[in-house]
Amino acid sequence: MAVSYRLFSLAVNPVEVGDRRKTAEALAPFVGDKVDALEARLKNAQYSIVLADDLDERQAEQIAALQLRGVSCKAGEVRFYPGHTAASHVLGFMGDGVGLAGVEGKYDSVLQAGGFRKSNIPDIDFEGQESLGAAVTDIVLTLDIDLQKQLESRFREYLAAQGAEKGMGLLIEPGSGRILALVNQPSFNPNYFWKANESNRVNRIYNHVLDKELIRPILARAAAIERQGLEGPSLLPATVAAANYGFTDAQLNVFEQQIQLYGSVFGNWESGPAAPEQSGAEPVVTGVQVGVTLASLVNGGWRITPYVVDSIYDHATAKRYARSSEATEKRHVLDPALGVKIRRELFANWLMEQENEVVFTADHLQVNPEKEFSRYSMQKLFVGLAPAKQPKFLLLMAIEQDCLQPLPDAKNSDKAALEQMGKDLLAMLIKTAPPENLPAKPPEKSQENLRQFFISKRLNFRNTPGKANEPAPVMPQMRGLSLRKGLQQIDKYKMKVRINGSGRIVAQYPLPGQPLTGVDECILTLDTK
């Protein structure tokens, strides 16, 4: 899902260049620019400039053989995400070789060259080793790439048909917490993450709230089963039982606290806060809190911790180090015997025996007054379990629409379409379950992925039609500058600037020398060291 390649950047210091024309003629084939335009860039530049990125080793050797004054090739590792938007919120992204979000950010010290210790990745069993990573280390994720792409593809199709944009999906093993697929929409391409707006980079499964009313029928039924006890009679059907099985809001809240519905969920790739407090308002929960709570109701009462990091492969020792048996903290939130009874009886109302599935859907309209206006939000939820008797897979999907009815294409504008999508995905899971065991060694780097990387770079930086003769603005070099001087450098480009940290600039995106055509945001990372 993410691969590194050793590539080179071509840098020129104009002050040291002797014959600019000769240098331009020699470098034009590598840069892909006209000689006159390249000579003009060398003439006008006052500082060292990067003329080309992502040259391979053969090209770097050819440039070195030219022995041109002021010309050098600098080696570096570049990360490429062959799936583009697939699992982008899990993978995160990098800037100037530094992990900034997701797995890339949390395990940057593991993915960087050089040794690391257990404290850098405590979920992994080091098998007595003091440190690992002397050579190269790969992180192996639990995500199934085929399931991930299938879920994302169906999700996008559904959102487009409903005229919606926001949604989340989580496919998890309720017994272990292993995440097989995780979807956030809208998504972004981590290869060019700086082009995505801040809303697209939001990890909705951890940070977007859902109304508790969506799962109230499940919570009320679970609380009623616990109240009846082990020897109690079966519950009345929901159609004739008292509303919420006779529970008041206060009584149901006690049960919600018991099963830790509002508890923080800390995974091994993202730290998710509890749902934000809203004084005077009905409590809300995040998607991951709902997923963990439902998992505990079907796995015998265990509250599990979701995870996506399965193991690491250390190339120095040529061995894969698996997840530690103590990594996932499991706590009983229900009496063990009652937990089993709840698992067996909870979803009786939503059992589909012929399909060997459990399917629950709900929707809820929120109306939030804002001064003289009101903001409307329709949320839809799908929960699916398979197989039905002892679920191995839990699929949760939630959609949000910030618009008033009627929606486009009324015949497909209800939760039936969401339910059908969920049932199709569950049926596929039952037929083609992902493998239990991962390969002992990661596959070799694909040359096809490298080819895609270069094609992607060429397509992304293609000049706008009709403006071939106009020099495209490029990102200046700002590493090492103070924030004030850095802002002076990019002020003329009228870009939105996002600043992380304090001190001097240590990383920037876009990278120095990259064209700014179509780019309206710059990210600067600062550090005091």
Fold category of 145-431 in CATH: Beta-lactamase (3.40.710)
Which residues face 93 on adjacent strands?
A: 101
Q: Tell me the average confidence (pLDDT) per consecutive run of 10 residues in the chain, 529 residues long.
A: 85 87 91 87 81 85 92 85 88 83 88 89 91 90 90 88 86 93 90 79 83 90 89 75 84 91 75 45 79 93 90 91 84 88 87 88 79 77 91 92 58 73 90 77 73 62 40 78 85 83 84 75 82
Q: What is the pLDDT of residue 348?
A: 84
* Helix, strand, coil percent values for the chain (each to nearest 5): 35, 25, 40
Q: What is the pLDDT of residue 320?
A: 92
pTM of the complete model = 0.77
Residue tagged 């934000």 (tokens): 276
Give start and end residues of each alpha helix (H) in 239-395.
249-258, 287-298, 336-345
Q: What is the pLDDT of residue 171?
A: 95
DSSP string across 138-166: EEEES--HHHHHHHHHHHHHHHHHHT--E
C-alpha distances in Å from residue 139, one per residue of 55, 124, 355, 445 = 26, 10, 36, 14
Q: What is the pLDDT of residue 268?
A: 60
CATH of domain 474-529: 3.30.10.20
Cβ-contact 509, 522 below 8 angstroms: yes
Q: What is the pLDDT of residue 236?
A: 73
DSSP string across 197-209: -TTTT--HHHHSE
Rounded distance between C-alpha atoms, residue 155 and residue 348, angstroms: 27
Rounded distance between C-alpha atoms, residue 506 and residue 55, angstroms: 23
Cβ-contact 245, 210 below 8 angstroms: no
Rounded distance between C-alpha atoms, residue 245 and residue 155, angstroms: 34
Domain range annotation of the chain: 145-431, 474-529
Residue 318, Ramachandran bin (φ over 0: left; ψ between -120 and 50: alpha; else beta):
left
Q: What is the pLDDT of residue 454?
A: 67
Q: What is the pLDDT of residue 278?
A: 47
Q: What is the pLDDT of residue 457?
A: 61
Rounded distance between C-alpha atoms, residue 323 and residue 330, angstroms: 15
Phi/psi of residue 398, each to 5°?
-135, 140
